[in-house]
Amino acid sequence: MQVRLALLVSALLAVFGLSAAAALASGLSGDRAISSSSPFRLNDATLEPGCFIPGRGPVDLDTHLNLTYLSDGTIARELHVTVDASSPVNVDEVLVPSALDGYKVYNTFENTGRADDIGPNFTAVNLFAPDSNGIDGPDPIDKSSVIVCVSDHGAAQNEPYQQEAGGLVSAKNRPIVAPKVSALGVSAVGPLNTFKIGFGYDIEKWYTAPSFDGAGVFPTVTDPNAVGGGALPAFVRMDPRPADFGYDARRVNDVDAFGDSWKGGSQQADYGQNRLFSADGDDTGWTLSNNDQSDTLGHLITFTAQGDLPISWTLRPSLASPSSLRTATFTDDDFRAWWASWQAYYAGKGPKPSLPLAPGTNSPAPDPNITVVNSIEVRPGTAPQQPVTNTTTTIVSQGGPVPATGARSATPSSAKKASSRTSIRSARVVKTKQGKQLRVFVKSAKKTARIKIRMYDAKGRKVGQVTKTVRTNRTVKVSGVRIAGKVKTVKVSLA
């Protein structure tokens, strides 16, 4: 980072160092990055790195900025932003707030020498608030809530917010958490004929460090719902909240069961699901039959009939884009397909279903009209059925599903032995701003395992091979592995 920004650091850290209690008091419960829903306002104590409200931000920066308002009578209608000749920074982004609701985001500017920022000795003109009703032009400007985002001269642009519909904005640096159905089975308790379904989640995108040159000195992540970790948070918190009130920038963590529709219009969002979501994802995220420990793994959804379906789980972090909303749904059609796949397996006419049995469940009873070739799977204990044991995993479509090769199925007689083996449970290539990363999950009784990674181009020619030691029993990024653009297939096996 250049020296001229160093003088600003102490003032910036003072702004971003407000106590969690103060931030909570000024914001909405569970969404502290938002200080008000009407009008929609961001919390100025938790703005993205390098962003502040002039007059409430670092004095060293305030002295170099001049905000001028053109009015029709007493109402401010147009904003001009001037950066003086001695300013150590450029203004890269301006959020102009409506006095009625929301912001208009500007990343390009008029009359500034170059369009993508406001440099020293230039004044940006024609900056307006959003037109909230779409009839009489831009709304009056709320002069007390203008937000600017800055970076050093010649640095990467600091544009952490993006425009959303209705004057709302979202923060680009928010995770995308995708729920999924990860287990299912028939209750092993007597002849109840109930079913238990488990959910997990994958991480499609995680927090990243700012790319402008304040990174390393400015706070890396200012999302108040980010939790723990070192340089980057290890978790993001999403407290339960329904998804059916429209997009208002607040988080969504909503479980919907078919029975909700019969509750007089009320929506039950809290079924005891996870509140904390790990950067590594989790195949055993939550289930629901003992919903008293919401941040642990001790829950199962129990449904007693197919009429209880569909069941879905919807997630989106606070202040994330509406496009990052993700939902996993298990329907009656999914149930029928699962049931049929087990019947085909029993009859020897299909493979063993890949969806693991949930803890405390068995596979469904065989249809009495078929000749049973493969027996029922029994899992009366608390641990879920182990997925297929893999010694080699091949990633054909980077970032997509991971087909397995060299797979062996664990039968009831060999289940205990199979569970103690070292095996590759998953492997995928993930695109990040820093390039493509290989992430693997190796199941083992040991703390580490050696894996061999082979890379092939589109013609099947091997273009690279490396052996690495990784930690086991969690999804980890394999460090020191560069996946070039020409690599189309990656094979991961135990070394």
**One domain for residues 17 and 49:** yes
**One domain for residues 59 and 162:** yes
Helix ranges, 32-131 (H): 59-62
Is residue 224 assigned to a domain?
A: yes
Average pLDDT over residues 133-143: 87
**pLDDT above 60: residue 139:** yes
- Per the prediction, the chain carries an average pLDDT of 78
Is residue 480 assigned to a domain?
A: yes
**One domain for residues 153 and 219:** no
Residues contacting residue 250 through CB under 8 Å, at least 6 positions apart: 28, 30, 31, 34, 37, 241, 318
Structure confidence at residue 338 (pLDDT): 94
**One domain for residues 192 and 46:** no
Q: Which helix (H) or strand (E) covers residue 105, if one does?
A: strand 103-106
Total domains in the chain come to 3
Q: pLDDT tens digit string along 367-405?
A: 989 888 887 776 544 444 444 333 444 444 333 333 333
Is residue 328 assigned to a domain?
A: yes
Is residue 393 assigned to a domain?
A: yes
The range of the structural domain enclosing residue 208 comes to 176-333
Most confident among 120-129, 351-360, 399-408, 434-443 (mean pLDDT): 120-129
Average pLDDT over residues 120-142: 90
**One domain for residues 155 and 74:** yes
Q: Degrees (nearest 5) of the Cα angle 238, 149, 123?
A: 150
**One domain for residues 329 and 186:** yes
Is residue 11 assigned to a domain?
A: yes
Is residue 381 assigned to a domain?
A: no
**pLDDT above 70: residue 84:** yes
Q: Which two three-digit tokens encode residue 239? A: 């407290």
Closest CA to 40 of 93, 94, 99: 99
Q: Are 15 and 23 in contact (CB under 8 A)?
A: no
Whole-number percent of the chain with pLDDT over 70 = 76
**One domain for residues 114 and 210:** no
Structure confidence at residue 143 (pLDDT): 93
Closest CA to 343 of 326, 358, 359, 363: 363
**One domain for residues 283 and 412:** no
Picking from 102-116, 181-195, 315-329, which range would have the lowest pLDDT averaged per residue? 181-195
**Which residues pair with residue 470 across a beta bridge?**
449
